Amino acid sequence: MRKLIKIAAVSLLVLSGSIVSANENTIREAMVKSMPTMKIDSVKQSEVKGLYEVVVGANIFYVSEDGKYLIQGHLVDVVARKDLTEDKLNGTRKQAIERLGKANMIIFKPKISKYTVTIFTDIDCGYCRKLHSEIDQYLAQGITIQYLFFPRAGKGSESYDKAISVWCAADRNAALTAAKKDQKLPAKTCDNPIDKHMQLAADFDVKGTPMIISENGNVYPGYLPAKQLVEALESEKSSK
């Protein structure tokens, strides 16, 4: 009898796995058909029955098991008062930044690095300039800053052209500092990752600059003084 129960349980698990797999395939096929340019990274069951979590780059969507309905928004555990989607988005942001790679960033490093943040910046943004004018304070706190460009005026704008000139300069760090001080730089062009930066900003739904992202993928929108940023980063560590 116990043997029969065990066989039945195993069969149920196999059947359940087959159903999940079939639903995942259904969702993939439906989304590819309706949005052929979308590159799906993963499909899996969400915490809500009948709703599947679909990861596309740094974004997360929720799709019905028949692939007919898509929900764009955050899934919140009301009882636990926890934003389940935001927790997972932290991971997708972290992975996306890692995929971009340090070679595609302008990095300011302290002598001893304790923390690392990635900052979307616009050369002509007032608060971006204020943040960079205090770069020594961030470095003194042991914060490594990885800059990515997000010219808010868009591709082809003066801010966009400045970003390219900074990237193509012999000393990118010095050129960025000069540009932040509104010093005129020689116009230059070369192979550059600015469009990749802007695409990543779009994936992260960046609305303004500066936007600070921690090593864990947490977002801190806007300017934060060095001491406040360290407090936030320390809080992240202690909450792990």
Share of the chain above pLDDT 70, in %: 90
- pLDDT, mean over the chain: 88
Average pLDDT over residues 8-18: 36
Q: Is the dihedral of CA 72, 93, 216, 49 positive or negative?
A: positive
When pLDDT is averaged across residues 163-192 and rounded to a whole number, the result is 97
Report the pLDDT averaged over residues 161-171: 97
CATH class, range 100-238:
alpha beta
CATH of domain 14-84: 3.10.450.70
pLDDT digits 0-9 by tens, 90-113? 999 999 999 999 999 999 999 999
Q: Is the pLDDT of residue 3 over 60?
A: no
Give the residue-averaged pLDDT of 194-222: 94
DSSP state of 220: E
**Global pTM?**
0.80
| pLDDT bucket at 7, cuts 50 / 70 / 90 | very low
Output the six-digit token pair for 42. 């993963």
62 vs 234: CA distance, rounded Å: 32
What are the boundaries of each domain within the chain? 14-84, 100-238
Model confidence at 240, in pLDDT bands (50, 70, 90)? low
Which H helix or E strand runs over 172?
helix 172-180
